[in-house]
Amino acid sequence: MHLQWLRDSIVGQFLRQFCTPSWLKYHEEDLQWQPDYAFYDEKTILVEWYPEHDEENPHNWSRLKKAFILFVIGIYSFVVYMAAPIYTPSENAFIEEFGVNNAEASLGLALYVLGYGTGPLFFSPLSEIPRIGRNLPYAISFFLFCIVCIPTALAPSAIGFYFLRFLQGFFGSPCLATGGASIADVYSSDVLPHAMTTWVFCVFCAPAIGVVVSGFAIPVLGWRFSMWEILIAAGPILVLLLLLPETSPATILHRRARRLEKTGTKRPYSYQTAADIAQAGISFYSVVQESLLIPSKITFLDPAILFLNCYTSLTYGIYYSFFEAFPIVYQGIYGFNLGEMGLAFLAIVVGTIISFAVYNLYIYKIFTPKSRGLRKPEDVLVPALIACFGPSIGLLLFGWAANPNVHWIVPTIGIVIYPACVFILMQCVFLYIPACYPQYAASVFAATDFTRSAFACGAVVFSRPLYENLGVGPGCSLLAGLTIGCVIGIYSLYHYGEALRLRSKFVPKC
C-alpha cells in the first residue's frame, strides 16, 4: 500500500523524526537526486516546485487525497459547529440545577459562539507562518478542545460552565479560521466552488444535527450528557487530524528548504523559499498586528465590506436566534417534547440540501462556463439578487404561521426557506471578498467572522426576550424588516460596487 502521502502529516513527521522509515523519504534525501536550482542571488538558492509534475504540490495530489482533505476538514467543522447548540435542549435542566434565569442559561450557547469567533483573530495569522503551517494549530487546539470537554461536563457552577464553553469555542475555531484555506490549497479554481460549498454545507447542517442528537438523550441521561456527546464525537476527529497532510504550499516548501540544507549538494548556499524571503526579519508580533489592523480598517472603512459584514452578521444572528425561538414555538405552542422539537431543526438541513443542490448546479452550468468572461467581482453576486428575498419571506411565514390553529408544518416551511437562501448569500459573500481583496482575504474573513459571531452571541441572549415580549409574529416581522432593508443594499452593491471599490484606498490601483 502506497502511504507516502502521510509524510506531511503530524504522524508522518513524528515517524520520520524517530524511526526514519524508507517509505517516508523525500526526493531531496536521495543523494542521486539533482534538481535544477534557481538562484535568488549569488548566495541564495530559491526553493520552488520542481518543473516536472511535482508530487508534493497540493494541486498535483490525487483526487482521493484531495477528497480525504475535504472530508477531514468537513467533519472537523461539523463537530465544532454541532457542539454549539447541542446544549440548548438542556437549558431548562440547567436552570433548575443552578438557579439561573433564561438569559443567563443562554450564555452556554452565546459564549461558545463568541469563542469560535474570537479564535480566528489569533489562529488565522498563525497558520500563515511557513514554519508553523495549518496542521499544527489544528491538532494542538483540537486536543485542547477535547481536554476542555471533560471539565465542562463536570462544571460545578454556572460561571465555570460559561467560561469553559467559551474556551471550547475558542479552541475549536481553527476550522473556521483556516478550514477554507486548507481546501483552497488543494483544489484548482474550477473545482474550488464545489469543494467550498461542500464544506459550508457541513457547517450549516451541523447546528441542527446537534440539537437532534441531544434532544432525545437529555431527558434520559441528563443535561451533562450533551457535553460528553461532544467528546465522543471529537475523539475520532483528533485521530484524523493527526493523519491530515499539511496543505500549506509555503510550509511544504519551507520544509523542503530545510531538508536541502541538510542533504543538498550545494552546501555553501542558503536555501530559501519566496515566503521565507518575504517574511525575513518580520516578527510574529508584526504579522499579527498587520493581520488585525489592515483587515479591521477594511471591515469598517470600506463601505461595501462594511455592508456585507452587517448583512451576514444579521442573518447569522437570526439563524442562532432560532435555537431560542424553537422552544417557544414547538414546545410552547405545539406541545412538542424535547426530541420532537429537535427533529423540527431538520428543516434547516432540508433547506440547506436544496440550496446546496441548486447552487452547485448554477456553478456547474452557468458560473464556471462564463467565469473566463467575468469582468468584475460584482458578477459573483448574481445569485444573491434572488436569494436576498428569501430570509424575509421565511421569517414572516415562520412568525405568523406559528399558531395553534395552523399546522406545525407551515411555520416549518418558513424555516426551510430561510437557511436555503442564507446559504446562497453566504456563498456569494465568500466569493466576493477574496475577489475584491485577494491579498488580505484570510485576515478580512477572520475580522468578519469575529463581528458575525459577536452579533450572534448577542442575538442568542436577546432573542428570547424579543419573542416573549413582542410575540413570535411581531418579533419575526421586526427582523424581517431589517433583512428587507438589506435587499436594497445587495442591489446597490451589485450596481455601484465597482464605483465604491475604485474610491477605496485599500484596493490596489492598476
- CA angle centred on 242, ends 237 and 243, rounded to 5°: 95
pLDDT digits (tens, 9 = 90+) for 24-64: 777 777 766 666 667 666 677 788 888 767 888 898 888 99
d(CA 173, CA 119): 5
- Asked if the domains at 31-280 and 300-368+375-502 fall in one CATH topology, the answer is yes
Eight-class DSSP state of 38: E
Select the highest-mean-pLDDT range: 164-173, 376-385, 458-467. Answer: 164-173
Residue spans per domain, the chain: 31-280, 300-368+375-502
Span 62-78, average pLDDT: 93
- Give the percent of the chain with pLDDT over 70: 88
Average pLDDT, the chain: 84
Span 138-150, average pLDDT: 94
Span 184-196, average pLDDT: 86
Span 277-292, average pLDDT: 65
Is the C-alpha dihedral spanning 487, 446, 195, 48 positive or negative?
positive
Q: What is each CA distance from 504 to 177, 191, 428, 444, in whole angstroms?
A: 26, 31, 21, 15
On the question of pLDDT at 239 being above 90, the answer is: yes
Answer whether 0.85 is exceeded by the pTM: yes
d(CA 205, CA 345): 9
Q: What are 325's three cell numbers?
A: 425561538
- Following CA atoms 233, 235, 236, 242 in sequence, which dihedral angle do they give, to the nearest 10 degrees? 140
Q: What are 239's three cell numbers?
A: 485521530
- The torsion region of residue 504 among left (phi > 0), alpha (psi -120 to 50) and beta comes to beta
- The torsion region of residue 33 among left (phi > 0), alpha (psi -120 to 50) and beta comes to beta
pLDDT digits (tens, 9 = 90+) for 151-169: 999 999 999 999 999 999 9
How does residue 391 score in pLDDT terms, banded at 50, 70 and 90? very high
Residues β-bridged to residue 39: 45
Domain 31-280 class, CATH top level: mainly alpha
SS3 call for 34: coil
Q: Which fold has domain 300-368+375-502?
A: Growth Hormone; Chain: A; (1.20.1250)
